[in-house]
Structure 1
C-alpha cells in the first residue's frame, strides 16, 4: 500500500508537464512547433543521473534525522512539485508562456529528484524475491495518478478552467506526502560500512590497492558515489554493458516521441476534452492495467525477455494505427467517430502496459543494491533521454509533413528496440544485480 501511494505521488506530475500540458497549450492556441519544444522540459527526467549521487549519499539537514535518507529527499521533491503546480495554475500560457515553462521545469526537476530517492527506496525496502510485487504496486499507483493527471485534469478544464485543474492537482500531491510520513525508512548500511565497501570495490575494480583512506573527503565521495556505481556495472557485464545501455536508451523511443503530439492530435481531429478524458485517459487506464496484469502472467510463464520483445513490437506497430487514422481523416473523410479513438487507444494502452511493466522489472534486475539510486537513475535517464530530445521536434514534423507521416516515423523509431532485445536474448541470460544479491531470476 505504501509503495502504491508513493507511486501515485511520482506519477501525478509527469503528465502535467507532458501530454496534459500540451493539451492546455493547444487549447489556448499555442503553435504545434512551440508545443513540441516544450517536450524538452522532460529532459530533466533524463539527466537526473547527474544529481543522483547527491541524493544517494548526502543527507538533508534536519529532515534526514527526522525521516531518514530516502524519505527526506522524497518529501523535498514532493513539496517542490506542489509549489510548481500551484505556480502553473496562476499563469496564463497565452501571455506568460516563458513563465509557464519555468514553473513546469521546477515541477519536472522536483519530480525527477523524487524519482531518484523513490527508486532507491523501492529496491531497498524488500528482498529481491519481492521486487516483482513492488514493481506491480508502484506501477499501479503511478497509473492511477496518470488517470487523475490525464482524465481528471481534462474534465476539470472542460467543466471549469485550466487554472482550477492545475490547482486541484497540486492539492492531490498530499496523497504522496502523507504516504511518505506513513511508510518506514528502509535499512541502510552505516557510513563507515559504506566507506569500507567503496574501498574494497575500488581495490577490486582497479586490481590494486587504491588507499581510499588516505584520499581527501571530496575525492572519496566522488569515487564512491559516482565512479564505483558505473565501474561496477561495466565490470559485472563486460562489453555487454554497452549493449544493455543501448537497449535501455531506445526501448521507449517510439512511444515517447509520439506521446507529445497525442493530445494535440485528438483536439485537431475534433474531439472534445471530455471525449479525450473519457476514452484516452479513463478507458485507456483500464487497458493499461490489463496490459500490466497480462505482462505479469507472461513473465511468470515466459521469463523476462519474451514479454520485453512483445512489448517492443506492439508499441512500435500501434503507431501505424494512429497513422492510419490520420491519413483517413486528413484525406477529407468525415469527423472520426469515437469508435476509431477507442480502437486506437485500446491497442496503444494495452501494448504500453505490457512494455512498461516488463521494462521496469528488467531495470530493477540490473541494479546492484549497493548502488541503487545512482545505477537506477542511470538506467531511467537513458530510458527517456533520446525520446525526449527527438520529441522536441515532433511539432515541427507535424507542421511540415502532417500527423500521418509523423506517426509512421514514430513507428520506425521502435525498430532498434526490437532488434536489440533479440540480440540480448541470444547473448545473455536475465541479468543479475550481483552474485550476492540473488536476483529474482
Structure 2
C-alpha cells in the first residue's frame, strides 16, 4: 500500500494521485453529516410541524463541533490497533455514524423529540470527531507541495457532499417533484454511504508513519479527558437545574408573557455556558491533561492570541446569523417549494460557493491575507441585505426561469419547475461572497497553527469558528419570531460589523501572518 513520502523525497506520480483521490473521498465523507444535523434536519422538523423556536433551539445539536478540541488530543495520543495511525479512528467514527443515522431514521421528530434530539447530538459528536481525525490525517499525509491542491479537492468533496445531503435530499423528498422518498429514506441512504466510506478508509487509505516525538503518559491524558468530561457533565446538570427552577418559579409570569420564555431560556443557556467552560478549563489543569494543555500553551504563546480567537468567532457571525434559519424562512415565510429551495439554495448555491472560494483564492495572491479578509468580510456583510430585500419584496419581484422536467438518477424533477428570479439572485450573491470569505478564513486559520500541535490547535480554532454557526440558532429563532424577517436580516448585517472593526484594529498582527507566495511550500515547516 502506498504511503506518504518522507520529507525531501521525490513523489511518485501514482502516489500523488492516490493521496489526492483519498483526500477528495474523505472530504465527501466529512461534509455529508453536517447538513443532516443542520439545514436538512431543519427541513424535516419544519415539515413535521415543529414550531420555529423549537427548531432554533435544536440547532444546538451542533455543539460538539464547538467542543471537539477537548477530545481531539486523544486522537493525537492514541492509535487504534490493526489499522495504523489515524485510519482506525476514521473507520470507527464512520461506522458509528452509519449506525446512528440508521437509528435516527426510525424516529419521528414530533412524536419522539427527546430521543431524536439525543441521536442528532450523537451524529454531530461523531461527525466532529471524524473531522478532527481527518484534519490531522490530511495534514500528516500531504507534503507541503501538495497541500494547496489537496485543500481544493477537499473543499470540492466537502461541497459535493453538502449538495447531496442538502439540496438533492430536498428534491428527493419533495411531494410533487421528488422520487417519492421520505426523510427516513434519505437518512437510511446516508447511513449506507457512511458505511461504504468506512470500508474505503479501512482498505484504501495510505499508511502514515508513526511520529518519532515522545508522547505524554497514557494515564495522565485519560484521567485528564475524564475530568474534563465530568466538568462538562456537571455544567450540563447545573444548566438543566437552572431551567427547571426558573420555569417552576416563574410559571405564572411566563404564562402571561408568552414571548418572554425564549429570551429567558437563551439567558439561562448562556449563563450555563459561562459556568461550564471555566469549570472544564480548571479540570484540565488540575488533572494535567498534558496533550491538550501543551497544544493550548503553544497557541497562546503567539502575540495577540486571545484577540485572534475573538476575531475567529466574529468573522463569520453575521453570515451564520443570516443563514441559521434560512430553510424555515424560505419554506414557511416565502412559501417556496421544496424542489425550488433544493435546486437553488442547496444545489446551485453550494456550487456557487465553490466558485467563490476559487475566486477568493485567486484574488488572495494579489491582495494578501489581511486585505482579502477585510474586503471579503465587507462583501459577506452586504450580501445579507439581499435577504432583507427578498423578505420585503416577496416572490415575483424579478423574472424567473422554468426548469424542465429531468431525471438524472440522483436528481429528478417530474414536472417543469418555476424558479424565482429574486431567490436566484440573492442566493448567488450570498454564496459567492461567502465562498470568498471562507477561502480567506481557512488560510487565516492555517496560518495560526504550528506543525507539532496541528490536530489539537486546528480543532481548537475550528471549534471557535463554529461558535457563530452553532450558538446563533436560539437567539435567531427568538428574534425572527419577535421582530419579523426584514428587521432580522438588518440585525444580521449589523452583526458582521464588529469583525471588520477588529480586523482594522489588528491589521499589523494579521499582516505579520502573511507568507510570500514565492517562498510558500519550499520547506516542510
TM-score of Structure 1 vs Structure 2, range by shorter chain: 0.7 to 0.9
Per the alignment, do residues 195 and 394 of structure 1 end up closer, same or farther by CA in structure 2, a change over 3 Å counting? closer
Shift of 1:414: 1.0
Give the 3-state SS of the residue equivalent to 1:47 in structure 2: helix
Give yes or no for the alignment of 1:120 onto 2:185: no
Give the 3-state SS of the residue equivalent to 2:50 in structure 1: coil
Q: What is the TM-score when the length of structure 1 is the normalising length?
A: 0.86
Q: Would the aligned equivalents of 2:66 and 2:464 in 1 still touch at CA under 8 Å?
A: yes
Is the deviation greater in 357-366 or in 83-92? 357-366
Per the alignment, do residues 134 and 221 of structure 1 end up closer, same or farther by CA in structure 2, a change over 3 Å counting? farther
Alignment-derived partner of residue 226 in structure 1:
292
Per the alignment, do residues 351 and 334 of structure 1 end up closer, same or farther by CA in structure 2, a change over 3 Å counting? closer
Give the alignment of 1:290-301 within 5 angstroms. Answer: 290-301=355-366
Q: Would the aligned equivalents of 2:320 and 2:468 in 1 still touch at CA under 8 Å?
A: no
Corresponding residue to 2:74 among 54, 71, 77: 54
Alignment-derived partner of residue 272 in structure 1:
337
Q: Would the aligned equivalents of 1:254 and 1:387 in 2 still touch at CA under 8 Å?
A: no
- Structure 2: how far apart are the matches of 1:439 and 1:320? 43
Give the alignment of 1:301-316 within 5 angstroms. Answer: 301-316=366-381
Q: Would the aligned equivalents of 1:33 and 1:395 in 2 still touch at CA under 8 Å?
A: yes
- Structure 2: how far apart are the matches of 1:258 and 1:363? 23
Alignment-derived partner of residue 31 in structure 1:
51
Higher relative contact order (CA 8 A, sep 6+): 1
Give yes or no for the alignment of 1:285 onto 2:307: no
Q: Would the aligned equivalents of 2:159 and 2:351 in 1 still touch at CA under 8 Å?
A: no
- Structure 2: how far apart are the matches of 1:369 and 1:157? 44
Alignment-derived partner of residue 318 in structure 2:
254
1:251-274 Cα distance to aligned partner (Å, 9 max, x none): 121222222210111102111111
Alignment-derived partner of residue 199 in structure 1:
none
Alignment-derived partner of residue 429 in structure 1:
511
Give yes or no for the alignment of 1:183 onto 2:248: no
Consecutive unaligned residues in structure 1, runs of 5 or more = 197-217
Q: Would the aligned equivalents of 2:216 and 2:291 in 1 still touch at CA under 8 Å?
A: no
Alignment-derived partner of residue 414 in structure 1:
496
Q: Would the aligned equivalents of 1:365 and 1:439 in 2 still touch at CA under 8 Å?
A: no
1:279-303 Cα distance to aligned partner (Å, 9 max, x none): 1122112211111110121122222
Q: Would the aligned equivalents of 1:47 and 1:385 in 2 still touch at CA under 8 Å?
A: no
Per the alignment, do residues 222 and 138 of structure 1 end up closer, same or farther by CA in structure 2, a change over 3 Å counting? farther
Give yes or no for the alignment of 1:381 onto 2:484: no
Give the 3-state SS of the residue equivalent to 1:393 in structure 2: helix
Give the 3-state SS of the residue equivalent to 1:357 in structure 2: helix
1:218-245 Cα distance to aligned partner (Å, 9 max, x none): 999945402211111122x13x111211
Give yes or no for the alignment of 1:95 onto 2:115: no
Per the alignment, do residues 313 and 439 of structure 1 end up closer, same or farther by CA in structure 2, a change over 3 Å counting? farther
- Structure 2: how far apart are the matches of 1:145 and 1:306? 31
- Structure 1: how far apart are the matches of 2:441 and 2:196? 26
Q: Would the aligned equivalents of 2:324 and 2:469 in 1 still touch at CA under 8 Å?
A: no
Alignment-derived partner of residue 108 in structure 1:
124
Q: Would the aligned equivalents of 1:128 and 1:438 in 2 still touch at CA under 8 Å?
A: yes
Give the 3-state SS of the residue equivalent to 1:94 in structure 2: coil
Per the alignment, do residues 39 and 220 of structure 1 end up closer, same or farther by CA in structure 2, a change over 3 Å counting? closer
Is the deviation greater in 222-231 or in 240-249? 222-231
Is the deviation greater in 415-424 or in 226-235? 415-424
Corresponding residue to 2:169 among 121, 140, 153: 153
Shift of 1:307: 2.3
Consecutive unaligned residues in structure 2, runs of 5 or more = 1-20, 218-283, 401-418, 516-520
Is the deviation greater in 248-257 or in 377-386? 248-257
Please provide the CA RMSD for this pair: 2.7
Give yes or no for the alignment of 1:401 onto 2:465: no
Per the alignment, do residues 109 and 335 of structure 1 end up closer, same or farther by CA in structure 2, a change over 3 Å counting? farther
Shift of 1:419: 2.0
- Structure 1: how far apart are the matches of 2:109 and 2:285? 45
Q: How many residues align?
A: 409
Q: Would the aligned equivalents of 2:48 and 2:109 in 1 still touch at CA under 8 Å?
A: yes
Is the deviation greater in 352-361 or in 39-48? 352-361
- Structure 2: how far apart are the matches of 1:301 and 1:276? 36
